[in-house]
C-alpha cells in the first residue's frame, strides 16, 4: 500500500495506483491508464450541508445519474469504511453515479473539528475496484490539526510546523520541489498571496540520481552551482560527511536592517544512505527559522 498525504489530507492506496494530477486541494489517481479515484477538499467555515453538496454535484453533472445511497444499496465493505471514518469524527454521506461509459461510488466528507470538507469518488469497473475503493476510503485522514502537519508524496515524506502553508510544488523527473510559506504575521495568512510580504519560505527538494550529479563535483560546489536557493558566496558552507549546512544572511544593508528586510538563509543538503538521492531543506526569508525547528524539519524529511 502507498501512503499519500497532501496539504492536510491523507489516503492510502493500492501500490499500483499512482497520482496522475496533483493540485493544492485535490488528487487524481490512475491505474493502468484508467482513472480510479479523485479527491477534492476545502476548509469550510460554519455549518456544512451534505444535501446541498449532493444537489450541487447533481446540477454540475447533468449527464450522470447521480443519487444518494440508501443503507441497503451500499456495498458492505463501503459501509464498514464509512463506520471507521465516523468513529474518527468524520461525518460522511455516500452517493453513486452512472454515465453511459462509467459508474462510480463516492462520499462527501466533513470533519466538524477542523472544517475540512472533502469529496472522494471512485470509478468502478469491476468487483475488485469496489473492495479497493472501500479500503482507500477507510484510510482517509484529516491531518489539519496538530502542531506539525505531515506530507508524503512520490516516495518522500516530511513534517512541517502547522503555520507553514503549501505554496507551490513541482515533480519533474530528477527534481522534485515542494515549497511552503509562513507569513511573519499569522493574520496575513490568506490575505496576501503566498510568498508576498515578510515571512519564511521553506523549500524541500529532491535531486536524483545522486551518483550522476555528484560524479565530478563536491556536494558544496554542486549546491552553489545548481540550486535555485543556493547560499551566496558570503555565507560559509560547513561539510560533515555526506551533508552540508549553512546559516547566514543572504542579503543585507543598512536600509534592509532598518526596515527589517534582511534576507536570512539556512539550509542542509545531504546524500541519502539508500535511494541514490540528494535531499535538501532550505529556509529563507526575512524571518529566520529557529535552529531547533529547522533541525526537526530536516530530521523528518526522508525517502520512504
Does residue 174 bind another protein (CB under 8 A)? Answer: yes
Contacts of 240 (CB under 8 A, 6+ apart): none
Does residue 155 bind another protein (CB under 8 A)? Answer: yes
3-class secondary-structure state, position 188: helix
Contacts of 103 (CB under 8 A, 6+ apart): 96, 97, 123, 124
Out of 141, 275, 296, 300, the residue judged to bind another protein by CB under 8 A: 275
What's the alpha-carbon Rg for the chain, to the nearest Å? Answer: 22
Does residue 302 bind another protein (CB under 8 A)? Answer: no
Interface pattern 31-50 for another protein (x via CB under 8 A): -xx-----------------
In the complex, the smallest distance separating the C-beta of residue 207 from another protein, rounded to whole angstroms, is 11
Instruction: State the Cα torsion 228-233-236-239 to the nearest 10°.
Output: 60
Does residue 212 bind another protein (CB under 8 A)? Answer: yes
In the complex, the smallest distance separating the C-beta of residue 78 from another protein, rounded to whole angstroms, is 29
Q: Which is nearer to another protein, 147 or 215 (CB)?
A: 215
- The pairing of beta strand 175-183 with beta strand 199-207: antiparallel
Does residue 146 bind another protein (CB under 8 A)? Answer: no
Does residue 208 bind another protein (CB under 8 A)? Answer: yes
Q: Which is nearer to another protein, 80 or 214 (CB)?
A: 214
In the complex, the smallest distance separating the C-beta of residue 199 from another protein, rounded to whole angstroms, is 31
Q: Which is nearer to another protein, 174 or 290 (CB)?
A: 174
- Look at the chain and count its residues: 304
Out of 18, 25, 163, 296, the residue judged to bind another protein by CB under 8 A: 18
Does residue 215 bind another protein (CB under 8 A)? Answer: yes
CB 261 within 8 Å of CB 269: no
Binding site for another protein (CB under 8 A): 18, 32-33, 154-155, 173-174, 208-209, 211-212, 215, 274-277
Amino acid at each position: 500500500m502507498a501512503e499519500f498525504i497532501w496539504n492536510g489530507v491523507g489516503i492510502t492506496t493500492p501500490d499500483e495506483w499512482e497520482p496522475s494530477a496533483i493540485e493544492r486541494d485535490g488528487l487524481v489517481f490512475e491505474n493502468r491508464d484508467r482513472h480510479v479515484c479523485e479527491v477534492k477538499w476545502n476548509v469550510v467555515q460554519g455549518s456544512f450541508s451534505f444535501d446541498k453538496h449532493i444537489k450541487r454535484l447533481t446540477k454540475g453533472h447533468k449527464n450522470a445519474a447521480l443519487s444518494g445511497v440508501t443503507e441497503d444499496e451500499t456495498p458492505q465493505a463501503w459501509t464498514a469504511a464509512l463506520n471507521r471514518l465516523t468513529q474518527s469524527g468524520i461525518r460522511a454521506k455516500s452517493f453513486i453515479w452512472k454515465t453511459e461509459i462509467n459508474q462510480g461510488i463516492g462520499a462527501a466528507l466533513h470533519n466538524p473539528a477542523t472544517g475540512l470538507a472533502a469529496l472522494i469518488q471512485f470509478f468502478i469497473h469491476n468487483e475488485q475496484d469496489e473492495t479497493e475503493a472501500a479500503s482507500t476510503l477507510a484510510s482517509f485522514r484529516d491531518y489539519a490539526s496538530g502542531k506539525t502537519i505531515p506530507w508524503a508524496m512520490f516516495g518522500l515524506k516530511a513534517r512541517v510546523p502547522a503555520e507553514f502553508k503549501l505554496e507551490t510544488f513541482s515533480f519533474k523527473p530528477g527534481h522534485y520541489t515542494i515549497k511552503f510559506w509562513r507569513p511573519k504575521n499569522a493574520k496575513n495568512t490568506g490575505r496576501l498571496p503566498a510568498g508576498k510580504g515578510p515571512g519564511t519560505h521553506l523549500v524541500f527538494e529532491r535531486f536524483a540520481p545522486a551518483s550522476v550529479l555528484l560524479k565530478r563535483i563536491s556536494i558544496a560546489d554542486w549546491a552553489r552551482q545548481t540550486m535555485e536557493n543556493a547560499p551566496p558566496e558570503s555565507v560559509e558552507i560547513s561539510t560533515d560527511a555526506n551533508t552540508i549546512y549553512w546559516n547566514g544572511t543572504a542579503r543585507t544593508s543598512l536600509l534592509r536592517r532598518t526596515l527589517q528586510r534582511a534576507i536570512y538563509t539556512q539550509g542542509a543538503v545531504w546524500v541519502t544512505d539508500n535511494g541514490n538521492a540528494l535531499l535538501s531543506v532550505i529556509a529563507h526569508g526575512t524571518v529566520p527559522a529557529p535552529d531547533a525547528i529547522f533541525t526537526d524539519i530536516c530530521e523528518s524529511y526522508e525517502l520512504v
